[in-house]
Amino acid sequence: MIRNRAYWPYYLAALACTLFLLILINVRIDGRLFAVDQAIYRQLQLLRAQWLDDILITVTQLGDTLMVTVITSVVALWLLVRKSWRTAGYWVLTIISSAVLNTSIKAAIVRARPGDMMYSGWSAYSFPSGHTTSNIVLYGLLCILIYPCIEKRAARILTVCCAMGFALLIAISRVYLGAHWFSDVLGGILVSTLILCIAGARYHAGKTHTLTAGAFLIPIVATLLIVGSIHVWHGRHISMQRYMPPALSSQATGNTPPPAAAAPAAGTP
């Protein structure tokens, strides 16, 4: 029984990998999932509201590449200062590996985003969602590392819910803002699940360091509050332009798209 429990992360990783491959194949052949993607995209764009845009643009900014890089670096330095070498190594390698894997898949699939998001290079590709993959890996790994360090069960549950809730909110913001198709985000969730299962199982299979939850939570919260506030304020104008709703974007340029272009048929690639 104990041996079977030790292998459950690998079973979950295999399931996530299988589901991801099914979605990847569907994306490559523009299968039925593409019709679902378009339907969700159209419905969410119709529900766009200025107050919700303001909130979710802020959320998506707090989950971009700059913020993930800064948070990863700050926590790694914090761990190195505390001489937690193995934990720091797992922390950095897992997050870097997720970024490399995500970018490699993007470059191989070359899927276009729902609209022109002012991205360039590999960032212009859509599948899978980089925001989703990197943030679920970051905050999921945070939960894996500090879960054994929290004594009270209620505190454990609260920490996991807050961390993963924020990561999932970032994923939702990507679909709502029209930066990704729903299947892009779903693919990112599965890739990050695969990575977390393997990384978590390998980390806890070896010697772990005795750490407090504050060793992770303090630098992460401080970085989000200080660096995140500056980043959101400094990049607000560009983000508002990038994630402008399609209808507002058309009005701003003086070009009103025809009805067929504004609401393409479900089978249109």
pLDDT tens-digit map of 39-84: 999 999 998 999 999 999 999 999 999 999 999 999 999 989 888 8
192 contacts 140 by C-beta, under 8 angstroms: yes
The pLDDT confidence band at residue 5, using thresholds 50, 70 and 90, is: low
pLDDT digits (tens, 9 = 90+) for 100-138: 999 999 999 988 888 777 777 777 888 999 999 999 999
Comparing CA positions, the residue from 169, 164, 220 lying closest to residue 193 is 164
pLDDT digits (tens, 9 = 90+) for 234-253: 988 888 888 888 764 443 33
CA angle (126, 130, 132) in 5-degree steps: 110
Question: In this structure, which amino acid lies at residue 104?
Answer: S
Is 140 domain-assigned?
A: yes
What pLDDT, on the 0 to 100 scale, is given for residue 39? 93
Comparing CA positions, the residue from 249, 257, 133 lying closest to residue 187 is 133
How large a percentage of the chain has pLDDT more than 70? 88
What pLDDT, on the 0 to 100 scale, is given for residue 257? 39
Is 1 domain-assigned?
A: no
Comparing CA positions, the residue from 258, 250, 232 lying closest to residue 61 is 232
* CATH at 190: 1.20.144
| Runs of H (alpha helix) within the chain | 2-28, 32-46, 50-61, 65-81, 85-109, 130-146, 153-176, 182-205, 214-234, 236-242, 246-253, 259-262
Is 266 domain-assigned?
A: no
Is 119 domain-assigned?
A: yes
Residue 215, domain extent: 18-241
The pLDDT confidence band at residue 268, using thresholds 50, 70 and 90, is: very low
Domain count along the chain: 1
Is 201 domain-assigned?
A: yes
Q: What pairs with residue 125 in β-bridges?
A: 112
Question: In this structure, which amino acid lies at residue 96?
Answer: I
Distance CA 266, CA 40 (A): 11
